[in-house]
Structure 1
């Protein structure tokens, strides 16, 4: 079957009709690009002179101070409040004994829905370290794969504050770089605090956590930060590096390149969500996982230390929720106490009032 000829094709292609021809654009040659190169480089240098923004310097200094208070406060709270970490996965639980919820995937995701094997945790289990390359200049050339060992790795929050104009080397803003071994040493050698002192430390730590996250969120509105879509790699700068360190693609010969996207507060300051044990929960079992709350680890630690938790976290903690599924005996007793309600209606009443399923 022959293809149909379009009626306007002859008008466009004919030499007699010039008004229907598409315009031809002549792009700049290499000689013109060489002349424009000094102008482009000068424009990049002028853009670099606009940073750091003066209005964000006090915010960056406040972030450094609150980060130091947060690390010291969490390390003090761990002397009195135990923390348990799973041996095979990143799950943690704040308490003397771990929960019995079957959410462990085992070593390298080889098994799923297993019971956790708990060991003693440390500071890095609550405050997850996120590191990035320390740049000499914000608008320097992109780091290649062969240059990955030429740059120092520092915490991403410190790198963001350094680019924002606050220097961690200052004596007034000296931020300690805590490690897991140092936290474990402080746990064994620390003394128990009084309940009043423990409450004050927990409240100050919780306030530092809120100020730190709000300050980082403000800095992210001004300074560009990238995060890999497939892994937790973070780069503070206008463009990500080219170090092939992402191991999500199995078809790569060794390691793959990162897929960069805009970072958020949770990428630089991970909240580390944990199961929260409320006063009505005797122990956390696998059957009642739908009824338990999940909150950030710092929030749960400070609340067990006596800090006042803001009301915005009540929906996450499920303070007024049920401790587990209700048995048939409890349903019958509720139906007897309410003679106007039938047994079938009591089930719907439980679901509407307390969110209890069958």
Structure 2
């Protein structure tokens, strides 16, 4: 080897040895460290200021994140498989897996249903006072007199419009959206709806179906109420109870501390209220519905498709082949079911926060200074309700956006 190349190789090795003495693990895990930093590095379009706002999917082929890590789900499946081998036949004891109701959640189900009706009643009056705008080409919603100028439209031919929105008047379902699911008459005995039954089974809002399975009785949606737990034989549910009467008063199953609770829905509470009082009542109902739904979902399973907004309340997802999202051809139209969150049952529809309804429209150049909030919260705040502490950071109330002519002076 030539002297020059030999000396350079020796110098390189000496430098490597010095680095290895100073940082012993630096050279050993260098490739892994680079890979990890590349994966966890934020995208160029992602702003850390909006870390508390759910990020939209980068593309339609991206799957929703799992609420529970996959490693924990695999461990649970292995434990259930081993327990089934040790005890093939067993009497299920814990509700609602055994077909019985959870007594302490019956009252919560009535409260969630009541809060939902109050929200819809309040929004039907607020939408006549607070202007709601909806883009004609995408699902963007804005609360204000004039639509914002932020170029975030993803609808058809948005490139020709430079991603600007085309606004029209919005309605209540643009502010809050309740996706529908199939109603299960027997959530344990027949937990799945097959494809040929899709036109025969009724559909209703998923949050209402959650309340029905948790103990709410509705005349138009009958359901089977058991008085004895079911058995599990090699993973299959076997019911030895003779069906005599499906109408059981669930108030008898409520815990003693909530027996005296009035579950009747009196929508006259929204009559004769001022605009500010109506907004406060609607906002309180929003938090009551969200917190109650989270409590019920801790015990009652809810599934959502990983690629589309489809939701099914029950132990398993249905088998209706109506998925039209990415990669549905490889699944033959079947949904890729996974664990759902509360916002899969209630579409909050995040909107930009407007400090002054009568001011200038939001500028695209200043979008990094604006905050966001669920459309229900934004509408109630614009109607006079105080800003909730949970959304103060998200709405960026502590940030003063500069004027348009001062943008070049801000670093």
The TM-score, its normalising length taken from structure 1, stands at 0.70
Higher relative contact order (CA 8 A, sep 6+): 2
- After the TM superposition, which parts of structure 1 deviate over 6 Å for at least 4 consecutive aligned residues? 44-47, 108-112
2:211 pairs, out of 142, 152, 161, with 161
Change (3 A) 1:47 1:121: closer
Q: 1:198: how far off?
A: 0.2
Q: 1:106: how far off?
A: 2.1
The TM-score, its normalising length taken from structure 2, stands at 0.61
RMSD: 3.2
What SS is found at the alignment partner of 1:261?
strand
Change (3 A) 1:111 1:64: farther
Unaligned runs of at least 5 residues, structure 2: 1-86, 221-261
Q: What pairs up with 1:212-231 in 2 under 5 angstroms?
A: 212-231=289-308
Q: Which residue in 2 is equivalent to 1:51? A: 100
**How far apart, CA to CA, are the structure 2 residues paired with 1:330 and 1:47?**
60
Q: 1:109: how far off?
A: 7.0
**How far apart, CA to CA, are the structure 2 residues paired with 1:129 and 1:238?**
20
Residues 300-349 of structure 1 deviation map (CA, whole Å, 9 limit, x = unaligned): 00000000122221111111213247756995xxxxxxxxxxxxxxxxxx
**How far apart, CA to CA, are the structure 2 residues paired with 1:239 and 1:109?**
38
1:308 pairs, out of 367, 372, 386, with 386
Q: Is the 8 A contact 2:96 2:299 kept in 1?
A: no
Q: 1:272: how far off?
A: 0.6
Q: Which residue in 2 is equivalent to 1:80? A: 129
1:291 pairs, out of 369, 377, 380, with 369
Q: Which residue in 2 is equivalent to 1:319? A: 397
**How far apart, CA to CA, are the structure 2 residues paired with 1:251 and 1:65?**
37
Residues 45-88 of structure 1 deviation map (CA, whole Å, 9 limit, x = unaligned): 99765521111001001001111111100111011111110000
Change (3 A) 1:126 1:328: closer
**How far apart, CA to CA, are the structure 2 residues paired with 1:237 and 1:262?**
11
**How far apart, CA to CA, are the structure 1 residues paired with 2:99 and 2:331?**
40
Change (3 A) 1:150 1:108: farther
Q: Which residue in 1 is equivalent to 2:7? A: none
Matched, 1:143 2:143: no
Decide which structure has the larger Cα Rg and report it: 1
**How far apart, CA to CA, are the structure 1 residues paired with 2:192 and 2:157?**
33
Q: Which residue in 2 is equivalent to 1:345? A: none
Residues 273-294 of structure 1 deviation map (CA, whole Å, 9 limit, x = unaligned): 0011114963201101111111
